[in-house]
Amino acid sequence: NNLKQMDRSQRSFLLMLVGIFAVMAVASVVVMLVAASASQPSPQPSSSAHLSASEVQERFISELNASAIREDLRYLSSHAHIAGEYTPRNYETAVWVKERFSSMGFKTWMEEFEVLLSYPVSSSLSIVEGRADGYQGLQRAETPIEGDATSSEFVPIFNGYSASGSAVGKLAYVNYCRKEDFDEVAIPAGSVCICRYGKIYRGDKARAAEKNGCTGLLLLSDPADTLSAEQRQEREDAPPSSTFPSPMEVERYPLSGALPLGGIQRGSLLIPNGDPLTPEWGATANEQRLDIDDEYVKDALPSIPVRPISALNALPLMAAMDGPVAPSHWQGGLNITYRLVSTQLKVNFTVEMDNRITKIWNVMAEMEGYLQPDRYVILGNHRDAWDFGAADPSSGTATMLEVARSISKLYQSGWRPARTLLFGSWDAEEYGLTGSTEYCELHREVLKERAVVYLNVDVAADGSEGADVSSTPSLNDVIRRVSEGVPSAVEGVSFLDLWRTTMNASEPKVKNLGSGSDFSGFFQHLGIPSADLAYSKYGSYPTYHSIYESFDWMTQYGDPGFRRHRSIGALWGAVALSFADAHVVPLNYTSTAMELKSEAEKVREMMASPNSAYTSVSTSPLVSAVDEFVRAVQCFDEEKERRMNEVRSTSGAVAGVRQAYAEREYSDRLERAERAFCDDKGVPGREWYKHLIYAPSALNHYAGGAFPSIVDTFLSNGTESVLQTEVYRIARVIRRASDVMCTNLRQD
């Protein structure tokens, strides 16, 4: 009745007050709920919620099963699965991997792209003048081996993206086809060149060969470069006076892990990463594509015919060469004297290729984070192979599936990752990191905003006993910490101890990331902190990309007990779990700061050298920017420690909310600091590489280095003006990273 007696304005005012109090009451409840949630280190939905980080790691590692990895590898390497639609097995394997993830409870899907791939039609090498006793033409296939179940399956011999055409000329030998090889010995223009695999990326060999006048190129699997890990180790450990059988005479597969003399390494020659027809945008079905005659595409692909050749096939050709003797350090493992040219032997070398747009398939699997579902911890491995791929990449694929299975067991017990775990099984890596590159280009903005880290395993195990750890420096500390609790394949030895032995260092440091695997798009294109992990001492193995890289080779010589697979899987998953569950992501830029300081000093010394052509170039902008970054990292660490102590000492309903916000803020700054090292214009001449601090060498895309645009200018004899510009550009991105780390730096 009283309400009815009020006038309209009074009633409206009273209702407004009631509404305000109601909203405040609801807001208070929400704040208390959020606070209660945020104040818990790991608010999981079951009793396993209270597992410590070390307990999660221990349970994860204890679940890993070497026998399960072996059985997955048996299927994955049972048939050749070359990328695209060339072999039906490639798509079948994609479906199988997707189904395996689905069976573990992951949300799964496939992403399809249409890209330019390259397949063989025919190749020949005939003798036009002179003779080569015993030569009967290019071999069409590698020889099946009794006891190797898959070696009887035909796999074509080719180099992806070789030019189609004929080269007529005399043979010339150019060691490893590196810049320094061509600088050391002048090769007659118009030669059909032959060089050894190894040292640098084969695509860089082809580019160097065409630049220096070769009209065709044969890539030789030299016996000296294809010894087994045990044979290499034996030679390393022996006194200098020791004698050994020649590389032609050592036992080879199936009697050892060494490549048979008739074995051949396949592989791509593409220089830029990804589909050459869609540079920097995802190659989806209806996208724009460059014409095959576009200058970018022509520069990406070789202009000369290229093909691999085995030691046995090359022997009569090289034995017939009669020119000057090659330098002693150019002599290889064939039982002949290596000579530079042939004065009599002239050949006609022809290759025909089919370059076509074809479908490829990435398989994705997701376990959503319960606390920060918009932050992605990504684990990746490619699935396609040049042959059976028992090491490259299926050892990594089988290991990834076991990592996923072990994590799914944690999930079934009630544990949940705080951040989303995302697995990527990439297609067409072998052609040019194509599947992962297209994924990064298509999802560029989402990944730049949400990706925390990318963790890659390509070859999990290759027959050698060692730790091969490459990453952004900011991951050095977390990998080292986690590896202490990871068992190696050697009983009683941790992965950290193995890493120490491999690097001959009590505190081993990660190596720089080059290129050559799927981390490149994430790190060098998008600026996402990344790592590449392998159980390997040498970073290479003898049966690489041959048909003898088989399940039987792996079970006899690569990793008979699959303990190496299990060890690298334990490290891979444990690092991922550290990122998934840490309150603040475990990136530490102190290592980055120290690396930048060291590299900047090297640049300063190079410029100041009396022999330098760049003495007038000032390195002060770079040195001062690095010093500023060192201070910014210290500022960040001190600020984070001070604020987190303040937050933890508070109480009340909002304490947990404050802690959650602080943890998210510092995590975001750590994630974005690496992005700040990128510049949209990229490295000059190689603009796809946006990271101005780390990128692969222009002369060897397998090798990584600091300040790539400065190094490129040195190698190309660029002008002082160009070099000075690059010094300023690099200094600017370092300052941007400083701003991300400590926004108040310049105000202090």
Cβ contact 265:219 at 8 Å: yes
625: which 2 tokens? 């920017």
Burial class (CB in 10 A: 0-12, 13-18, 19+), 449: middle
- Going by the DSSP 8-state scheme, the letter that residue 582 receives in this structure is -
Query: Residues 6 or more apart from 70 whose CB is under 8 A from it?
Result: 398, 555, 562, 565
Per-position DSSP letters for 615-637, written without gaps between them: TTS--HHHHHHHHHHHHHHHHHH
Return the C-alpha torsion angle 315, 320, 323, 328, nearest 10: 30
**How far, in Å, CA of 200 to CA of 361, rounded?**
29
Where are the extended beta strands (E) located within 276-322?
306-309
3-state SS class at 493? coil
**How far, in Å, CA of 523 to CA of 514, rounded?**
10
**How far, in Å, CA of 152 to CA of 144, rounded?**
5
Other C-beta atoms within 10 Å of 677: how many? Answer: 23
Bridge pairing between strands 159-160 and 267-268 = parallel
- Going by the DSSP 8-state scheme, the letter that residue 259 receives in this structure is P
Other C-beta atoms within 10 Å of 317: how many? Answer: 23
**How far, in Å, CA of 550 to CA of 150, rounded?**
7
**The length of the chain, given as a count of residues:** 748
Catalytic annotation, residues? 429, 618, 668, 691
**How far, in Å, CA of 696 to CA of 688, rounded?**
12
Cβ contact 555:251 at 8 Å: no
End-to-end CA distance of the chain: 65
Cβ contact 94:110 at 8 Å: yes
